[in-house]
Amino acid sequence: MTIKISIDCMGGDHGPSVTIPAAISFLKRNPDAELTLVGLEDVVKAELKKLHADAHPRLSILHASEQVTMDDPLEVALRRKKDSSMRVAIEQVKDGKAQACVSAGNTGALMAVSRYVLKTMAGVDRPAICTIMPNMNDGPTYVMDLGANVDCEPHHLHQFAIMGSVLVHAMEGIARPTIGLLNVGTEDIKGNEVVKATSQLLRADHERGKLNFFGNVEGNDIFKGTTDVVVCDGFVGNVTLKAIEGLARFFKLVLTTEFKRSPLTMLGAVIARSALKRITKRLNPARYNGASLLGLRGLVFKSHGGADAEAFEWAIRRAFEAAKNDVQQQLADMIAELMPREPQPNATKSDETA
Amino acid sequence: MTIKISIDCMGGDHGPSVTIPAAISFLKRNPDAELTLVGLEDVVKAELKKLHADAHPRLSILHASEQVTMDDPLEVALRRKKDSSMRVAIEQVKDGKAQACVSAGNTGALMAVSRYVLKTMAGVDRPAICTIMPNMNDGPTYVMDLGANVDCEPHHLHQFAIMGSVLVHAMEGIARPTIGLLNVGTEDIKGNEVVKATSQLLRADHERGKLNFFGNVEGNDIFKGTTDVVVCDGFVGNVTLKAIEGLARFFKLVLTTEFKRSPLTMLGAVIARSALKRITKRLNPARYNGASLLGLRGLVFKSHGGADAEAFEWAIRRAFEAAKNDVQQQLADMIAELMPREPQPNATKSDETA
């Protein structure tokens, strides 16, 4: 079965010069994929021509006259730029013309426009952003929320846990993914009031056999791979993710500087090249690019704004896998089962996105 | 002038086998330091004998019959073990017999016993824990709170900022340390309600010329060294710190595994030894050991529980420097100036510690 993905070609720090080579490379490797490139037609065509890929049978171009910049306030992205490549790419999902969409644009705008165009899934109060991180078990740890919801109530975190569990089940083929609640200690008495109340909700689902709740986890458990999913509010998730990115960059800088310091250390680096290559590969952030916006009536994936073509291709791959594994239907089923209540009065209230 | 530091010799994962060698090494390097070793007299004496240091003129032993373990609930540390090495070491500070105290014991217990014995400083609602992290400017970034206060109001974060500023001023000799408020974005509209309100308090102090408030910072700014101080609540700080520790351990594991994988990569590592040494040194967590418990009527420093002798010695050094630079008096002055109000009704309410 062919899976169709729409791509916001204009988003991110590098726009078409990254998104289009990534799309072409992805198409070549995946014969069951079709892509719709959304953006300024002339620009997209010129980039395709450069890559000798302007007549690919599984590729189509959809013109969008505007683009959302990294600095655009939410209101501009939402109300003024109605023909932005971001919005048109999301509308492809809404209209059933694509099964998922990928953008490297501004996270806040992407979430806001996605919510506006696709609407929130029944039973979900707030969509959330889920990303993956490498762990010492050579597997990914799924962490959410990454910044869509800076103030959360226990039932929000509860929903995040359900969505994370479904995503891991669909993407990794794990029957009963383990769920950890990010906290300042592992004991039940630890944490703030929201976390303690969330723990009770998750424990109840666990006892009914619906979720595999491990209990509290701490920051280091993300990298230990203690659980498949780590749940937190968007404030904690965003700060932690960025701190981790900052440390990774610092580490890379120290590694590079110190090996380049003298001819001898450079020689050592040349001889140990294969080790350095594997280190880069294992810790390569590109492989972990592609965060899921979960809880919408359609699949949207967010690439890092600074992604290169390799990283952006990973984001397309994740969107493709999610569509192929029918994450959307599985989410709807699980939410209907575990969250059968009426939407909250504030279900449509837009929360600030990071 | 001689500075006297009391040391809880029994705390931490390794107890006297780490704390005492660290103390002896510190004494040898610092002729103006005196140390009081607190713990089971026989054990301390035996350890000193092993090190041929049982008759050091600037060393005294103070017997304490009990010890707080890592698993002891707060109530046990507080109410039952009244003759614990931790408590006796803190009492030395209260009685003016030591200018600061160092312990590698359980953080929650250390904070609780310190609050109980020393009491909170006038004008401060809640003491906080401040640690330092390396940054790309080769300087330390001071981050607080690290877990003493999991639910914070704006005036708590405001006080943390004041205390952090004083600490950096005293320890680093920086006239007007810059303060960043940890948030999910740098724009003023970003963040949860507590952070937004805190920002206004800090902005007001900045405009009066009292604090050097930089504005919002993000997780990666900790490592960029954007500001001297990064302020956050104890939940965010604790999770972030542990995530960072987890990632650092993961890096170390990957580095070690990959260099040891084949004779060739091992040869490369031998040749590039100086680079690897400098990498370890720059990222060495031992150098950043020694968190300050701020806002008490006396100086208490917390070493990582798993610290080795090198790391524990860094914690002693930080306590020594803080005492030498009269952090306590500077804190009292600044708090009196900026927080001249009456203590809050809940000022003595014990908050859960992580």
Q: Cβ of B186 under 8 Å from any chain A Cβ?
A: no
How far apart (Å, rounded) are the C-alpha atoms in residues B275 and A264? 9
Alpha-carbon gap: A197 to the closest alpha carbon of chain B (Å): 14
> What domains can you pick out in chain B, each with its CATH number?
1-126+295-354 (3.40.50.10950), 128-288 (3.40.718.10)
Question: Scanning every residue of chain A, which has its alpha carbon at the shortest distance from the alpha carbon of B270?
Answer: A268
Decide if A268 and B265 are in contact by the 8 Å CB cutoff: no
> Based on C-alpha coordinates, what's the Rg of chain B?
21
Alpha-carbon gap: A268 to the closest alpha carbon of chain B (Å): 4
Convert the pLDDT of each residue in A218-273 to its tens digit.
999 999 999 999 999 999 999 999 999 899 888 888 888 888 888 888 888 888 88
Q: Which amino acid is at B203?
A: R
**What's the confidence (pLDDT) of residue B189?**
82
How far apart (Å, rounded) are the C-alpha atoms in residues B190 and B194? 11
Q: Which residue pairs from A201-209 have beta carbons closer than 8 angstroms and sit at least 24 positions apart in sequence?
A: A201/A154, A201/A155, A201/A157, A201/A158, A202/A158, A202/A161, A205/A158, A205/A161, A205/A162, A205/A338
Question: Scanning every residue of chain A, which has its alpha carbon at the shortest distance from the alpha carbon of B262?
Answer: A275
How far apart (Å, rounded) are the C-alpha atoms in residues B184 and A150? 8
Residues of B in contact with A247 (CB under 8 A): 223, 244, 247-248
Question: Scanning every residue of chain B, which has its alpha carbon at the shortest distance from the alpha carbon of A181?
Answer: B239
Both structure tokens of A285: 């952030």
Residues with pLDDT less than 50, chain A: 343-344, 347-354
Q: Please answer whether residues B13 and B306 qualify as being in contact, where contact means their C-beta atoms are separated by less than 8 angstroms.
A: yes
3-state secondary structure B231-293: ECCHHHHHHHHHHHHHHHHHHHHHHHHHHCCCHHHHHHHHHCHHHHHHHHHHHCHHHHCCEEE
- What ipTM, to 2 d.p.? 0.88
Question: Scanning every residue of chain B, which has its alpha carbon at the shortest distance from the alpha carbon of A186?
Answer: B354
What is chain B's pLDDT, residue by residue, as a tens digit (354 residues)? 899 999 999 999 999 999 999 999 999 999 999 999 999 999 999 999 999 988 889 999 999 999 999 888 888 999 999 999 999 999 999 999 999 999 999 999 999 999 999 999 999 999 999 999 999 998 899 999 998 888 899 999 999 999 999 999 999 999 999 999 999 988 888 888 999 999 999 999 999 999 999 999 999 999 999 999 999 999 999 999 999 989 988 888 888 888 888 888 888 888 888 888 888 777 777 788 999 999 999 999 999 999 999 999 999 999 999 999 999 999 999 988 887 665 445 544 444 443
Q: Cβ of B221 under 8 Å from any chain A Cβ?
A: yes
Residues above pLDDT 70, as percent of chain A: 96
Placement of tokens 């696709």 in the chain: A118
Alpha-carbon gap: A256 to the closest alpha carbon of chain B (Å): 10
Decide if B190 and A248 are in contact by the 8 Å CB cutoff: no
Of B220, B239, B246, the CB nearest to A245: B220
Alpha-carbon gap: B86 to the closest alpha carbon of chain A (Å): 21
Of A240, A269, A274, the CB nearest to B239: A240
Decide if A220 and B232 are in contact by the 8 Å CB cutoff: no
Both structure tokens of B54: 């049982």
